Structure 1
Amino acid sequence: MKLAIVTAFPPSKVTLNEYAYHLVKQFRQNEKITELVLLTDKTEGKKDITFTEAGCKITIKECWSFNSYKNLFSVTKAINNTKPDAVLFNLQFMKFGDKKIAAALGLMLPLVCKLKNIPNIVLLHNILEEVDLESAGFTSNKLMQKIYGLIGTSLTKLILQADIVAVTIQKYVHSLEYKYYAPNVELIPHGTFEIPAEPDYTLPKGPLQIMTFGKFGTYKKVEGMIEAVELVRERTGLDLEIVIAGTDNPNVPGYLARVKEDYKHVSQIRFTGYVEEEVVPKIFKESAVVIFPYTSTTGSSGVLHQAGSYGKAVVMPDLGDLALLVKDEGYKGEFFEPTNTESLANAIEAIVTNEEYRLDLAETNFKAATAYPMSEIANMYIEHFYKIMDKKSIKPAVWSV
């Protein structure tokens, strides 16, 4: 099967590029895939396809740009030129832009594939029905929230024109089936990027590293985490280092620079900036606790799956999709009340003062993460593509099952 994937891809800074990297890594090793065509956003640096494992041919077509009104046409042209057997879209609602028209035009691409009779699946990482628009940084205006809701409903109907819409949380399946009477929604778990051998749960000598990882400034804010760690230091006298790994959310440029200036009086705080893919394991392995300083959630958390794969204890707000993942996939963490610094401090303290508890959380999360390796997730997509092709009486260039 010649499979095209419409996605952002490293070194892109557009959301979901890391997920695409790991999904591509598994697809290319699958014997049923003869060629991967990456229909990616345009970047200054070369795309990172330096995989060490043997795999199929990868063709890269940089054919879209964030907030471009031409994406619908440029991606369609790339699909016409490359002639894939099937197309996978790695999407969330703001994938093609944060301007309404640009975003909407990009989300019409699954409908284009359907009209061309090209088997296609949309991997939809979030649904607007489950997003708190105010907490997630979209808008606090009630009228605008209603307008966003109407726009979201229209965009969802566009996305549901795909042959299959895959979501990562069971509640999303129920929501889409209930509101849109959608018969083509499937649950395919997020999956875990890397499944190493069971980790050594001991920590490096030196300060205990309290780490958070992501893109910050909207619903992921680090001020409360910094203040919470300071509280724990005062109470316990423990040697704690704060590690803020990642960059600004593209919608909030300069956020981390302002935080760094505002908290320059705080000792042992490290801002890593953008974390290259090969450095990610080191960042996680050296951490004692991974913090999720979220006020809202907008989809299944890749960071939680990463933390689990490296055997890490986690501290999470008891809300939204994180709470659902804990329930559905078996993760375990210490919870805190969102925006409550005292509650967050209590959660951190519960772990860093109790080594037995930290180890229990770490081992539980590793077991949860290893239940859904990315190789299995790639297989699920391939199986669904073959079912679509069978239904449409289409055969890929190399038919092998």
Structure 2
Amino acid sequence: MKICLVAAFPPSKRQLNEYSFHIAREIQRHKDVELIILADELEEYEFAVEMEEDDPSKKKRLAELPGFNVVRCWKFGSLTTPMRLLNTIRRLNPDVVWFNLVFSSFGAPSSPFAAFAGLSVPALTRAAGFYTHITLHHIVEHVDLAGTGVRREKIYRIGTNLATRALLKAHSVSVLLSAYRRTLMSKYSAQNILVGTHGTFTTIPSRPDFTKRGNPELRILAFGNWGTYKRLETLMEAFPAVLKNIPNARLIVAGGNHPAAAGYWESVRDAQPAGLPIEFRGYIHQKDVPELFRTSSVLVMPYDSSTGSSGPAHQACEYGVPIVCADIPDFRCMATDDDMAINFYKVGDAKELAEKLTDLLRSPDLQREMSEHNYEAGVQMMMATVARNYLRWFELHKFKRTMAEGEALAQRQQRGMRSWFSRAGKVSSGWTLDADLLPHNPDGNAVGEEVDPTQPEPPPARLTSKSSSLRKPCAEHGKAEKDGYDATGLESAG
């Protein structure tokens, strides 16, 4: 099976690039699958390149990751994305075209036409005859647009409503929260929605090593791309109160700035009083992520809103780390769907956040209980399992399409055989099914002619308008046409 995965992909640092890497890595392990990644072009953006350690003014170009077949055939913010992607897809002729998307995958809110053009590609891909699947990481109905910095919110919601309807033209759509499926079904009457899981990135899970935690520091980890709805102000306000009760606490702020908020975490760092045990580490290389989580006593998610299921929360489950999180409906749903151990605090309430962190760090038993619970949850949703579920779904639809095409071919052959027998004069019934052999039949519709099988058949040249006046519609042929399968009609998922 040949799959084209349309996604941002490393070394690009655009949204979902790391998720695309992990899902692609697992798909690559299946020898019967040929995976081609249709990725975004790399550009000269600061967040998309690494900085030289010895000279931050220099930028270092990153090479493509080895072992992946990557075709960089679309550009973020470009109106030419649909044409370029469709041309590439037609040339590659895959069995499945799989889109890994958020609403800003193809363009920022400041470039709405480019963003909409990109989001129309799945519908165009299906119209071109390719099986099309979307993994949609958020839906706009569940996003606090004001918190993400979107201007002209009403106009934006109208545009995203149209974009959502375009996305739902795909054969099937996976969402990562059950609440998203309910919204899409109730608002858009969608019947092709599946509920999947975000998944954890580990391949070989290992239980949490508690000797690496609280020895001697109790590390509080905040991890993400900062500056829009992922804010640090509430956490900075809460941490001194935590430190007062937990003297060996240490705060680690990891992750770079969101592309729309350049310089954000640096400004927060510069505003902190000297002497506080706070580390701002910036962008974390993939190879350094495991140790970062394994040595942390708790993951804190001090968000103002959300744009879907949380990647850092699933990484916390991967490494068996307790979670303290803002009480946001999407995260409540995530905790229920994926069976996570999370302590919630009221959004923006620094005092309650400090209390939740203090209570957890004071209780080794609670830390261990939540750690073990999250680890067990993570084992149940490893990316290998997620990838297998996708491949089973694709194989099912490939089988359905093959069966539908086989049914259609068999019916065409059956009609052809009946036609051949009538030409050979071997029809035993009183009807002939050859519309093309009957005179005065310019529309080519299948009609019949009454004949007496006991009488010799007159030669076709002697057929007259009188004999043609005896034609009647061929009921059997019409039924075969009516019952013929449409291959695309079988692809919709309930």
Q: CA, structure 1 residues 266+223, in 2 after alignment: closer, same or farther (shift >3 Å)?
A: farther
SS of equivalent to 2:210? coil
For 1:39, the equivalent position in structure 2 comes to 38
List alignment gaps of at least 5 residues for structure 2.
43-60, 405-494
For 1:136, the equivalent position in structure 2 comes to 148
For 1:76, the equivalent position in structure 2 comes to 86
Alignment of 1:119-198 (within 5 A): 119-139=131-151, 144-194=152-202, 195-198=204-207
Query: For residues 54-101 of structure 1, what are the alpha-carbon distances to aligned partners after superposition, in whole Å with 9 as ceiling and x for unaligned?
Result: xxxx32101122212221122222212222221110001001111111
Alignment of 1:9-158 (within 5 A): 9-33=9-33, 35-43=34-42, 44-49=61-66, 58-98=68-108, 99-139=111-151, 144-158=152-166
Counterpart Cα distance in 2 of 1:394 and 1:211? 52
Q: Tell me if the contact between 1:201 and 1:362 (Cα under 8 Å) persists in the aligned partners.
A: no
- One-letter amino acid matched to 2:237: E
- One-letter amino acid matched to 2:2: K
Counterpart Cα distance in 2 of 1:183 and 1:390? 20
- One-letter amino acid matched to 1:302: G
Counterpart Cα distance in 2 of 1:49 and 1:351? 42
- One-letter amino acid matched to 1:293: P
Task: Give the deviation of 1:223 after TM superposition.
Answer: 2.0
Q: Tell me if the contact between 2:246 and 2:361 (Cα under 8 Å) persists in the aligned partners.
A: no
For 1:261, the equivalent position in structure 2 comes to 270
For 1:300, the equivalent position in structure 2 comes to 309
1:318 and 2:327 are equivalent in the alignment: yes
For 2:465, the equivalent position in structure 1 comes to none
Query: For residues 278-336 of structure 1, what are the alpha-carbon distances to aligned partners after superposition, in whole Å with 9 as ceiling and x for unaligned?
Result: 11101111111111011111111111111011000110111121111112221012211
Q: 1:245 aligns with which of 248, 251, 254?
A: 254
Task: Give the deviation of 1:48 after TM superposition.
Answer: 2.5
Q: CA, structure 1 residues 319+237, in 2 after alignment: closer, same or farther (shift >3 Å)?
A: closer
Counterpart Cα distance in 1 of 2:373 and 2:287? 25
1:361 and 2:370 are equivalent in the alignment: yes
For 1:229, the equivalent position in structure 2 comes to 239
Counterpart Cα distance in 2 of 1:242 and 1:145? 35
Give TM-score, length-normalised by structure 1. Answer: 0.92
For 2:433, the equivalent position in structure 1 comes to none
Counterpart Cα distance in 2 of 1:66 and 1:91? 13
For 1:280, the equivalent position in structure 2 comes to 289
1:217 and 2:227 are equivalent in the alignment: yes
- One-letter amino acid matched to 1:46: A
List alignment gaps of at least 5 residues for structure 1.
51-57, 396-401
SS of equivalent to 2:36? strand
Larger radius of gyration: 2
Name which of structure 1's ranges 216-225 and 128-137 shifts more when overlaid on structure 2. 128-137
Give the root-mean-square deviation of aligned CA atoms. 1.6
Q: Tell me if the contact between 1:201 and 1:311 (Cα under 8 Å) persists in the aligned partners.
A: no
For 1:7, the equivalent position in structure 2 comes to 7
Q: Tell me if the contact between 1:226 and 1:242 (Cα under 8 Å) persists in the aligned partners.
A: no
Identity between Structure 1 and Structure 2 (%): 32
Q: Tell me if the contact between 1:96 and 1:102 (Cα under 8 Å) persists in the aligned partners.
A: yes
Number of corresponding residues: 382
Q: Tell me if the contact between 1:92 and 1:125 (Cα under 8 Å) persists in the aligned partners.
A: yes
Task: Give the deviation of 1:264 after TM superposition.
Answer: 4.9
Q: Tell me if the contact between 1:9 and 1:47 (Cα under 8 Å) persists in the aligned partners.
A: no
SS of equivalent to 2:256? strand
Q: 1:387 aligns with which of 382, 396, 399?
A: 396
- One-letter amino acid matched to 1:64: W
Task: Give the deviation of 1:237 after TM superposition.
Answer: 4.5
Structure with larger RCO (C-alpha < 8 A, sep 6+) = 1
Query: For residues 233-254 of structure 1, what are the alpha-carbon distances to aligned partners after superposition, in whole Å with 9 as ceiling and x for unaligned?
Result: 12x1421211111010111111
Task: Give the deviation of 1:149 after TM superposition.
Answer: 1.7
For 1:53, the equivalent position in structure 2 comes to none
For 2:218, the equivalent position in structure 1 comes to 208
Counterpart Cα distance in 1 of 2:66 and 2:23? 12
Task: Give the deviation of 1:169 after TM superposition.
Answer: 0.9
SS of equivalent to 1:215? coil
Q: Tell me if the contact between 1:296 and 1:320 (Cα under 8 Å) persists in the aligned partners.
A: no
Counterpart Cα distance in 2 of 1:318 and 1:299? 14
Query: For residues 108-140 of structure 1, what are the alpha-carbon distances to aligned partners after superposition, in whole Å with 9 as ceiling and x for unaligned?
Result: 11112101111110000000111111223324x
SS of equivalent to 1:202? helix
Q: Tell me if the contact between 1:242 and 1:268 (Cα under 8 Å) persists in the aligned partners.
A: yes
